[in-house]
Amino acid sequence: MERNIRTRFAPSPTGYLHIGNARTAIMNWLYARHTGGRFVLRIEDTDRERSTEASELSIFKDLKWLGLNWDEGPDVGGNYGPYRQSERIGIYQKYLKQLQKIDKVYPCYCTPEELEARRKELLKQGKSIQYDGKCRNLTLAQRKQFEDEGRKPVFRFKVEEEEISFLDLAKGEISFQGENIGDFVVVRSDGMPMYNFACTVDDHLMKISHVIRGDDHISNTPRQLLLYLAFGWQPPTFAHIPMILGKDRIRLSKRHGATSVSQYREMGYLPEALLNFLSLLSWSSESGDEILSVSRLIKEFSFDRISKTAPIFDIEKLDWMNGVYIRNLKLEKLAELIFPVLQKAGYPVSSIEEIKPIASLLREHLERISQAGEKSKIFFQKEVVPQNEAAVILRKPEAKKVFSEFLKEMASVEQWNADVFMMVMKKVQTKLGIKGKDLWMPVRAALTGEIHGPELPKIAEILGYEKCQQFIKKAASED
């Protein structure tokens, strides 16, 4: 019988949403939307010391910013809640008792110090460091003795020496030997469930059909399959996606730069661009296209196109892709995004309408929205301070001739805009016989302090007549 498609994203609220976890959320969301299934958000907050409400809210914010919506979750409800593991402790206790009844778990009284000592001894002997089963066959008297000593047990699952295999949608057939797994803990001594136990119970009760996650979870899968088998439940279909690597082919981490979604938002990346970019880490469109709308991503997503090799996080490619999305924004939207950046930079801007000319001019020159602050300084500087090559150009005798003639022509105009600026430049060219870089670079250096940048006539229009005259006069008078 075919199951309804239900995927889930289950983050732990112990920090910001990592870019790798965001990619996992996107894969689950795309598959659910592609198949007409449901996407579930579950918060795995059994780590009481590290889980915080602030982190949970931050995860919600980042997912929504990316454009991911969920059909069930802590904030929207659903038929299979609660959707926070901390609110499901009674459920886990119920299923622990079931495992006790069928003799699939046992209490383990080994202390962390004892476990560490045995681990070191096994390493010395060159043996596997799995739990050695010391508490597996304790008598009732031995258990009582440990409890009288004040020891609180964890509960371990009995793993037999058998092969566990499954078909992974991304990696194919995968097998594990039971003796290499060892009896694993399902419930801590404080009654809190371990990841594999809680995850298995929740995925079953929430009717999750597909578990799509990073391949760092592959080692968890046989433990979860053993739990499914013990309960007599049908396991979900698994798909383990290759982990994202930095350019040095080491797992993506802080040493490679920003690692959280919120950092990329603050750096000026657009959510559509980041969603598009992350979707293409381990997946590709059959068309070979890289700029893909959300509707195309949903329509074309397929596990057949998942790569088995680990993708490289290429920040230059993300910059390029973000630039494409910026250029495709409507001017009103671009101005809205740029406005707070200019305000933060301390520029005297008071309305979005006012900065539309700047937004229009910068559109082709931005890879990130945050760059608008630095790139807009030419429009707000009270004094031009040319640097390096621009300063050299301004000192040339030919430049002084250009400035002198430019000021003469400016004096005869009645209005000022890009067209009038072009007319003045043509007149200067005709009178002096100077053209090309020898004509344009001195004027650009005088007006902006730079030798490259957006269209100079548009810059002159935004600066206005008085500023242009002021800056050219200053450049003409300097030695």
Confidence of residue 1 (pLDDT cuts 50, 70, 90): very low
Mean pLDDT for the stretch of residues 240-266: 84
Per residue in 54-66, pLDDT (tens digit) is 999 999 999 999 9
**Residue 210 three-state SS:** strand
Q: In this model, does residue 254 exceed pLDDT 70?
A: no
HSE toward the beta carbon, residue 4, CA cutoff 13 A = 9
| Residues 116-133, mean pLDDT to the nearest whole number | 83
pLDDT in tens, 84-101: 999 999 999 999 999 999
Amino acid 320: pLDDT = 98
Is 207 among the residues known to form the active site?
Answer: no
**pTM score, whole prediction:** 0.90
pLDDT at position 129: 80
Name residues whose C-beta falls within 8 Å of residue 200's C-beta, 6 or more positions apart in sequence.
Answer: 224, 227, 228, 231
Question: At how many degrees (to 10) do helices 437-448 and 418-432 cross?
Answer: 130
Which DSSP helix (H) or strand (E) runs through 25?
helix 19-35
- pLDDT tens, position by position, 201-219: 999 999 999 999 999 999 9
* Torsion on CA atoms 352, 357, 359, 363, rounded to nearest 10: 160
Kindly report, residue by residue over 300-341, the tens digit of the pLDDT: 999 999 998 999 999 999 999 999 999 999 999 999 999 999
Between CA 225 and CA 234, with CA 231 as vertex, the angle to 5 degrees is: 60
pLDDT tier at 257, thresholds 50, 70, 90: low
Sign of CA dihedral 275, 277, 283, 288: positive
Give the pLDDT band of residue 2 (cuts 50, 70, 90).
Answer: low
Which helix (H) or strand (E) is 449 found in, with range?
none
Of 97, 124, 134, 254, catalytic? 254
Q: What is the pLDDT of residue 466?
A: 96
CA distance 450 to 464: 18
Helices (H), 84-139: 89-101, 112-124
pLDDT in tens, 172-199: 999 998 888 989 999 999 999 999 999 9
Q: Give the pLDDT of residue 121.
A: 85
Residue with tokens 């997503």: 301
The Cα-based distances of 462 to 254, 365, 379 in angstroms read 41, 17, 7
* pLDDT score of 255: 66
CA distance readout (Å), 281 to 20, 26, 239, 285 = 10, 11, 15, 11
Cα 213-18-365 angle, rounded to 5 deg: 120
Q: Mean pLDDT over all residues of the chain?
A: 94
Report yes or no: 173 and 165 within 8 Å, Cβ to Cβ. yes
How many of the other CB atoms lie within 10 Å of CB of 94? 11
Q: For 104-131, what is the mean pLDDT?
A: 88
- H helices, E strands: number in the chain: 21, 9
Domains identified in the chain and CATH numbers = 6-74+200-244 (3.40.50.620), 89-195 (3.90.800.10), 329-379 (1.10.8.70), 381-477 (1.10.10.350)
